[in-house]
């Protein structure tokens, strides 16, 4: 990875904070979704800010329409055919996880799909496959014609 971060962002963070490696297969789908939510949000925020420095409220508005559950559900719908079997399995585990909460303004189906999408993003991130995270987000955004 560029600028001295060998092995990926997650590995670098673990190294800097002396966190031992953990087999990510032991993480629950909701733990993967938790980190994946932040990863996806960071990518979208990075794109939105790079497209034009403006008021924080406007940046938030642009970001919110893309990171909400309904938009994530649409994104995974177009990405599913492009996923590897292993990636599809991670998505399915996340989608089928029983969450104690639900997003506001989202159907249960959209919320479950979004949770699966976030689990996939988290799993890829923890595997130091950030390039794949960005590739999938780019492909999904292009297919959905999202204005990022």
Catalytic residues: 37
**Tokens of residue 123, six digits:** 């799993």
In the structure encoding, which two tokens stand for residue 9, read together? 């962002």
Strand runs (DSSP E) across 17-146, as ranges? Answer: none
Cα gap 60→66, rounded to integer Å: 10
Element (H, E) at 57: helix 56-67
- CB crowding 38-52: b at 16 or more within 10 Å, else e: ebbbebbbebbeeee
Helix 29-50 vs helix 85-96: crossing angle, to nearest 10: 110
């Amino acid at each position: 990875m560029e600028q001295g971060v060998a092995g990926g962002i997650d590995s670098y963070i673990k190294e800097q904070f002396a966190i031992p490696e953990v087999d990510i297969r032991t993480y629950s789908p909701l733990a993967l979704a938790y980190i994946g939510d932040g990863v996806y949000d960071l990518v979208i925020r990075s794109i939105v800010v790079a497209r034009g420095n403006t008021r924080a409220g406007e940046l938030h508005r642009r970001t919110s329409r893309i990171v909400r559950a309904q938009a994530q559900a649409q994104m995974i719908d177009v990405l599913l055919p492009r996923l590897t079997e292993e990636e599809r399995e991670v998505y399915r585990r996340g989608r089928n996880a029983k969450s104690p909460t639900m997003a506001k303004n989202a159907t249960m189906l959209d919320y479950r799909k979004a949770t699966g999408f976030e689990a996939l993003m988290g799993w890829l991130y923890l595997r130091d496959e950030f390039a794949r995270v960005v590739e999938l987000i780019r492909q999904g955004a292009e297919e959905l014609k999202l204005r990022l």
